[in-house]
Chains A and B, each alone.
Chain A
Amino acid sequence: MGKTLAEKILSAKSGTDARAGDIVISRVDFAFVQDTTGPLTLRQFQESGFTRPASPQACAIFMDHAAPSPNREQANDHLFLRRFASETGCQLFEVGQGVCHQIVAEQFACPGDVIVGADSHTVTGGALGAFATGMGSSDVAIAMALGKNWFRVPATIKIDVTGRFPKGVYVKDLILYLIGKIGAEGANYKALEFTGPAVARMTVSQRLTIANMAVEAGAKVGLFPADEVTGAYLEAQGRGARYRPLQPDDDAVYERVIEINAGRLVPTVARPHTVDNTAAVTELKGTKIQQVFIGTCTSGRLEDLAIAARILRGKQKHKDVRLLVAPASRAVMEAALRAGYIRTLVKAGAIILPAGCAACLGVHQGVLGDGESCLSTANRNFKGRMGNPDSFIYLASPATAAASALTGEITDPREVL
């Protein structure tokens, strides 16, 4: 009987014949924290009696969620994180370097790795064929200390994607459609595995967007096969030597198979206050918004900024909309500067925020006022997520976001492309 990607990776890393439902102790290749979960994690690490990680080079601390710090308390958290890094040899990524998940993709994740992060969107690394999953502080502290942790091997739902995306429809619309279809806990405790001809054609940037949101269906991982596209990306990022192809077995056992024809998708929006509350953009036409946010680990990469810049080039954002743009990493920021996208966006009226999480989680840089609505390219629209429980968050693609910035209301990007 063949194996899914999740079973293959956990078999290799646990030294067992791992099957869905088994509980295994697996080696952890890379463990990380960010600045809002890091202080608790590192204190727990110390309380457990450890002074040094099993492998400091395999541990990283990212300052991205409240960066630059909006207040004294979080500035002091940053001090603690810096001190811990210098005392233990953990890798430190300073304020302005970018969102942890983007940097993990750019610099660390490789096919077959097991990666844990004290952040639910750690699943992003699945785009490169890594078993990457979010855990809480205690679990990440133990993974840092011991270089291992226990895992229940997830059953897998296979998502088979065929067809070609129509004009104005993007991978963000695909993942929103899928979450709307199976629900916010449709994949709870399970792996999502993305295959099919449309997946083979996707860039790594597109795969990262999809994998990132696997957790919004409750999934433990959102896994992609490692193929030539993965290999070329790793080569370009300077770690081509770590590429190896990784595919599920033909006779792997899936709990369920869902087929999606990308050619039939339409621009999709998640309405307040759950990610699975989706609708076609056409149903929401005319919904007024006061803020547009383009960025995050979901949709803040160069390709995303290119889509937005293309729509906004030579035009002006609506006068009643604040247009916030945060590149996912410093590398993205630099590439977007070289490509002229930042200039285009600024001329269209955008406010460029530092590379990092920015407005996504309501700690700074774009908290909403009472009754205000934001159209965001992020991954989560829960009540209170952007700092105010009396505000409303809609999630969509960078194209829908850019088109809506022009009009001040939710707008179908196919009208402006």
Chain B
Amino acid sequence: MTRARSKVLIIDDEEDMCWALENIMKRQGVSSRSVVCGQDALELVRKFSFGLIYLDVKLPDIEGIELAQQIRGIDRKVPIVLVSGFFYHDDVPVQTALQDKLISCFISKPFQHNEIVGSLKFARRRLN
């Protein structure tokens, strides 16, 4: 695995969503990459080590939570933040994922920018 400069990985099939998250990261001085499907995400996670992953729940080729588990299979420690327009905080799958420490936190769409910025604290390495 390439120990490249830590980045944030954004996984969302909605391009404008990636645009928004990327710009929030940019304004925080954090570099980021976006992919629109699970397949591409897994490829990148295999190749690189990311500081934090923002993960959408409804992707065209796979369920977000299942993708999170597959990512765990490859990188046991990378923090995952679930960002979803489908679930709410008290939905069972979300609670379970939090309890199992599969995800570090959950943010529902639409969100406040400071929520996203706040979640950066879960990043495992210094992000630049």
A and B: partners?
no
B residues touching A (Cβ–Cβ < 8 Å)?
Answer: none
